[in-house]
Structure 1
């Protein structure tokens, strides 16, 4: 599926979200600035950054094969707020055998090995896994999918899955697989894109070519659906963390062009959710 990267519509949407969130109690000058900017964009008096690109939806295998080349070089507000929460949970756990499910370029694989775990990284993308081997050379890596992990039942003490469940149309299968491979008494740490972000912004685009963007679809998973999936898998929730937007806008992106509106639109909203669950002993 292909479409067009509509920068003006995105700019107007962010301006509108800032207005929606602050119309009732916002500073009058700020509100008037938003109205003035929107009027200029609508009338083409204010030119937006050139989109100039088509957008294609790719499956996870093809998408991450392309994304792997630049994934680690791109600043990410999602990762910046997610990692401290995940790592604080990991710091409180005893060492053992750990799984990094959908390990990508291995940022959590490295975090697990640095904490003394014997770590197995699993990902369906050989290109992403090649990067992971560079970041965590002491870990073991296996090609596999989150929905069918290449591990035996009850074979690890800890499983981590970071920002990957959003690519699954439904949660039950992925959660059940994590529960299957973790021993009784073990822990599972899952981070995901917050449903607020996906409902409001949708997809995360990356550069595919000189004049083309692409994305791997993010599916919206409400907390109630996570709780249902955990319950079906027999897991017990220990904690749920929702770190907030930290003010970072993607450098060079369209939101930097309307920074005041963008920060007002996202300020105070959770952008990631982190679940800390355990397999009952």
Structure 2
């Protein structure tokens, strides 16, 4: 555990924040009945006792008393690995079609799945004929990846210190991992180092809008405690700066939008109208397609 943060999961504040964001985004052109319902729910939730699940109107909301801790990436993904593949994710659902469309246009070769986790991109790359090297700092996540794709070459390593030689792969994919780095530059520079001239790099990340508004992605740890691995806001300008420093050329950038899926059993399901109004039309991931100049 990093020790940087340990506190309480505050359902009331999160619910009120979502309701407020829905109001903010629709204050000018929102339907009057919709706006009145948001105000009414804010009043109700603001005065509700969230520790008393029998309280009228909030009996289905989760208890607000769960502990939440920040974990470093090693401890966080060791714990997260047990349930990671079973959790539905709107981020992955909108990210994968964009990534797969890029991969479908590439000639098979040697590919790196950097910060591969349980190997979902390793599976996509292998299915397209690539010989894949998967790298992750979490042995627990790599164990899951090996179960899915035993033919791939999996190695323990960090984004900032990849265990590969210079110019050793034709393609590198890094999915939803750069957000955990306080500084993008070292990770981007490493990807540029290992990809051959003329090769491609596909980087996806949680969109800075989402991180700035919502903060961290929580998961259940040890059955009764919530935890997160910190996400950092990386604005597009920072990415462009990091790509430029590494000598990379941007071919394209996509920003897939929220698809309407709310996490099953989460607090947002109980304020679904407000949650969808808050997030609809906002990009939730960013997909970068860049190349190493020949």
> Are the counterparts in 2 of residues 52 and 211 from structure 1 also a CA contact under 8 Å?
no
Instruction: Give a deviation string over 1:18-40, Cα, whole Å, max 9, x none.
Output: 00000100000000000000000
Instruction: Give a deviation string over 1:210-269, Cα, whole Å, max 9, x none.
Output: 321000000000000000000000000000000000000000000001000000000000
Partner of 1:189: 202
Partner of 1:58: 71
Supply the distance in 1 between the matched residues of 2:179 and 2:13 (Cα, whole angstroms). 24
Number of corresponding residues? 281
Supply the distance in 2 between the matched residues of 1:136 and 1:258 (Cα, whole angstroms). 39
> Are the counterparts in 2 of residues 240 and 273 from structure 1 also a CA contact under 8 Å?
yes
Partner of 1:93: 106
Give 1:209 deviation, angstroms.
Answer: 2.2
1:232 to 245, 250, 253: 245
2:138 to 125, 129, 133: 125
2:190 to 164, 168, 177: 177
Task: Write the mapping of 1:162-173 to structure 2, written as runs, cut at 5 A.
Answer: 162-173=175-186
Instruction: Give a deviation string over 1:93-136, Cα, whole Å, max 9, x none.
Output: 00100000000000000100110001000000000000001111
DSSP-derived class of the 1:277 partner: strand
Instruction: Give a deviation string over 1:31-50, Cα, whole Å, max 9, x none.
Output: 00000000001111642421
Instruction: Give a deviation string over 1:168-189, Cα, whole Å, max 9, x none.
Output: 0010000000000000000000
Supply the distance in 2 between the matched residues of 1:75 and 1:211 (Cα, whole angstroms). 20
Partner of 1:27: 31
Give 1:79 deviation, angstroms.
Answer: 0.2
**2:68 pairs with 1:69:** no
37-46 vs 58-67, which deviates more?
37-46
**2:10 pairs with 1:11:** no
Supply the distance in 2 between the matched residues of 1:173 and 1:2 (Cα, whole angstroms). 28
Supply the distance in 1 between the matched residues of 2:148 and 2:171 (Cα, whole angstroms). 20
Partner of 2:289: 276
Supply the distance in 1 between the matched residues of 2:223 and 2:119 (Cα, whole angstroms). 27
2:266 to 248, 253, 256: 253
Partner of 1:200: 213
Give 1:51 deviation, angstroms.
Answer: 2.5
DSSP-derived class of the 1:93 partner: coil
DSSP-derived class of the 1:177 partner: helix
DSSP-derived class of the 2:158 partner: coil
Give 1:52 deviation, angstroms.
Answer: 2.6
DSSP-derived class of the 1:238 partner: strand
TM-score by length of 2: 0.95
Supply the distance in 2 between the matched residues of 1:142 and 1:243 (Cα, whole angstroms). 30
